[in-house]
Amino acid sequence: MRYSRSLIPTVKEVPAEAEITSHRLMIRAGFIRKLASGTYTYLMLGQRSLQKIVQIIREEMNAAGAQDILMPILQPIELWEQTGRRKDYGPTLSCHVDRHGRTSALAPTAEEVVTSLVAAEISSYKQLPINLYQINTKFRDEFRPRFGALRSREFIMKDAYSFDATLEGLDESYRTMYDAYCRIFRRCGLDYVVVDAVSGEIGGSGSQEFMVPCSAGEDTILSSDKGNYAANVEKCEIGKRPADLAGEPTGELEKVHTPEMKTIEEVGKFMKVKPKNMLKTLVFQAGDKWVIAVVRGDHDLNEDKLNGLVDGDITMEIDAEAAAAGFAIGFVGPHVVVGRDDVTLYVDPDAVAGQFWAGGANDTDYHVKHFNWKRDVLDPLGEAVRQRVIVADIRNAADGDPSPLDDDGVLRASKGIEVGHIFKLGTKYSQALGATFLGEDGQEHPCIMGCYGIGVNRIMASAIEALHDDNGCVLPISIAPFDVEVISLNNDKEAVRNHADKIYNELTAAGIEVLLDDRDARPGVKFKDADLIGIPLRVVVGERGLKEGNVEIQRRTENKAAAVPADDAVERIKEIVNELKEALSPR
């Protein structure tokens, strides 16, 4: 490809909206341009990189026995209603109404479509297992699109779906995908970690995420320093922590006037109490009952964990109803459980101890000091305490917490970008949509499903996020838009031009993908652009070198060029390209 005929709009300045490195570099290097919030055009360089990633995914998925299909982006909304997911997805599901008034969902994922396909076409255990996948555009009306390709409203996803006759079969399908994912990310040159995750709207019994560690990541990962446990903060469990409701009081319960002070920070500052000595008391509605969650002031509640403990769904953001039910919202304390039989308290172990506590007074504009679990909750409730006060892990894990494996491991927090997510789904969709088969026993059974996603654009963004330097992208050869950039440094000189052309033609004929910078630009401009774009190997053909009979070869990861006799250049380049590719080979 000739640079002079290509649209590669590199820029020095970048719109203020690009906050993270990968976004900035993708704009600066001319990989993407924004059309509207959360939607991007991928220009030639970006598109070539995406296609490299797509190709790697295809090869590994096919090698793992999955079959490539293509499903519609327009999905009848009725399918989403049958599985109940229209409600679960809520406004994130983009919909389209056609001239006949039919509503279609713009695919954010395709469990419904693929399951209805299987429902129609699979009837016997002899046809299982099967794994169908596609690489296609997906839509999610994100609450807040941001960070360029990391969270866009429209993106490319590889989504695969396995159908098995048995749970053991599902385990094997899942394991096969796990292994394929490891190969895919390794071939893309990414460091990744696999963490336990929650399955969210997708549903199912278990899931793991493939994360690329980097500070710009939106997800928080907790890993045991023993190296044997890692989980997303949404999922991460916490090891055993001591909790004893019977500690003695630190003093008389003291009521403090705290007008209009509702946040932990405000109250703590006013009363001169640290957040770790305060109780955060949150009110949730569960049908006609109330659930009160108590965590330490410096901790965060994990609603998934709380939900898992409570019968039925809990609802938050119910200030008006809670106030009507007699709760002093903003000033609630755990002892509200005393004297109300419609309240169950869930308390995190770290919010229980014989130490000094401050918290809400259950009276608007008042807080209390010297709150004590034994005196103010345990003793008044008596025997009822067992049903009414439940001590359990209900908060997000934090850096320094004990590992749930109870092996003296300590959890450490870090950030990551989710590039892949694999789920054991079970029969949620196959039951809802009638994807059943006749087993060996002659009985009808629902297919047991798994699903497996990879964010194609996110691979590119996270690769740049993880692999760059001050001058630009440093892309691995497997996903770089080109293998080699040949710079015809003094393109106005015929000898230089001819030699660069010769190298370009010979490399191209050898199947190497080459970008030839044949622009009539000053050398500095060409060097800067080459660094920015980040093609792994740079070849400089210049008047100066050519006089000595040399051209220069430099890897993007090196900061000095090597002079090579011009006649040997093509062979030498081929060797290096092979070497670079070999280093990222799947084996």
Q: Which residues lie near RNA (CB under 7 A)?
A: 10-17, 19, 28, 34, 36-38, 143-147, 261-264, 267, 278-283, 297, 300-301, 303, 316-317, 319, 329-333, 359-361, 367, 471, 489-490, 492, 522-525, 527-532, 540, 542-546, 552, 561
| Least spacing, CB of residue 433 vs RNA, in Å | 32
Nearest residue (CB) to RNA, 396 versus 430: 396
Nearest residue (CB) to RNA, 30 versus 455: 30
- 530: buried, middle or exposed (CB in 10 Å: 19+, 13-18, 0-12)? buried
Question: Would you tell me how many other CB atoms lie within 10 Å of the CB of residue 418?
Answer: 21
| Least spacing, CB of residue 185 vs RNA, in Å | 26
Nearest residue (CB) to RNA, 263 versus 585: 263
Nearest residue (CB) to RNA, 43 versus 264: 264
Q: Token pair for residue 445?
A: 């059974």
Question: Biggest alpha carbon distance in the chain?
Answer: 96
Phi and psi at residue 271, in whole multiples of 5°? Answer: -90, 0
Q: Token pair for residue 543?
A: 């008047």
Nearest residue (CB) to RNA, 274 versus 522: 522
| Least spacing, CB of residue 16 vs RNA, in Å | 4
In whole angstroms, what is the distance from residue 261 CA to residue 269 CA? 10
Question: Would you tell me how many other CB atoms lie within 10 Å of the CB of residue 227?
Answer: 8
Nearest residue (CB) to RNA, 263 versus 387: 263
Q: DSSP H helical segments within 40-90, as ranges?
A: 44-63, 77-82, 85-89
Residues 6+ apart with CB under 8 A from 109: 138, 157, 159, 202, 451, 453
In DSSP terms, 472 is beta-bridged to 469
Among 524, 518, 519, which Cα is nearest to 503's?
518
In DSSP terms, 320 is beta-bridged to none
| Least spacing, CB of residue 96 vs RNA, in Å | 16
Q: Token pair for residue 320?
A: 């008006």
| Least spacing, CB of residue 327 vs RNA, in Å | 9
In whole angstroms, what is the distance from residue 257 CA to residue 427 CA? 55
Nearest residue (CB) to RNA, 173 versus 302: 302
Residue with tokens 């390794």: 186
| Least spacing, CB of residue 284 vs RNA, in Å | 8
Nearest residue (CB) to RNA, 117 versus 282: 282
Q: Token pair for residue 16?
A: 């203020």
Determine contact, residues 244/460, Cβ cutoff 8 Å. Answer: no
| Least spacing, CB of residue 424 vs RNA, in Å | 27
| Least spacing, CB of residue 313 vs RNA, in Å | 15
